[in-house]
Amino acid sequence: GEDVEQSLFLSVREGDSSVINCTYTDSSSTYLYWYKQEPGAGLQLLTYIFSNMDMKQDQRLTVLLNKKDKHLSLRIADTQTGDSAIYFCAETYQKYSGGGADGLTFGKGTHLIIQP
């Protein structure tokens, strides 16, 4: 079955770069996503990458995709206290062989802790 793995915690100093890593198993994933969840809130889509891309940059965020190793990373440059949250990696998967609606498989989330 589908599986998405990420480490549970990452601690960085304010101003440094944060790199959150994720591995996935479904090689047929078409899109891979990074979501941010602040305490008690819903998920906020941060960025996504199409599976035929290696890299995507969006302001302070850089996503790297190594499709051969099934490894996805999210780099946050100049990490700020407002970046403190849980970050979820997710992949799409085809649930039904007949072409039914895709679902998303999430990792357990990485809790990003910012040190002053």
Partner 1 sequence: GAVVSQHPSRVICKSGTSVKIECRSLDFQATTMFWYRQFPKQSLMLMATSNEGSKATYEQGVEKDKFLINHASLTLSTLTVTSAHPEDSSFYICSARNEGANYGYTFGSGTRLTVV
Cβ neighbour number for residue 60 with a 10 Å cutoff: 14
Sign of the Cα torsion 111, 55, 71, 29 reads positive
| Alpha-carbon distances, residue 110 vs 48, 49, 87 (angstroms) | 17, 19, 5
Q: Residue 67 corresponds to which tokens in the numbers above?
A: 């499709």
Q: Is 46 in the site for partner 1 (CB under 8 A)?
A: no
Q: Is 82 in the site for partner 1 (CB under 8 A)?
A: no
Span interacting with partner 1, options 10-18, 44-52, 54-62, 66-74, rule CB under 8 A: 44-52
Which one of 21, 25, 43, 84 is in contact with partner 1 (CB under 8 A)?
Answer: 43
Which one of 42, 82, 99, 116 is in contact with partner 1 (CB under 8 A)?
Answer: 42
Q: Is 24 in the site for partner 1 (CB under 8 A)?
A: no
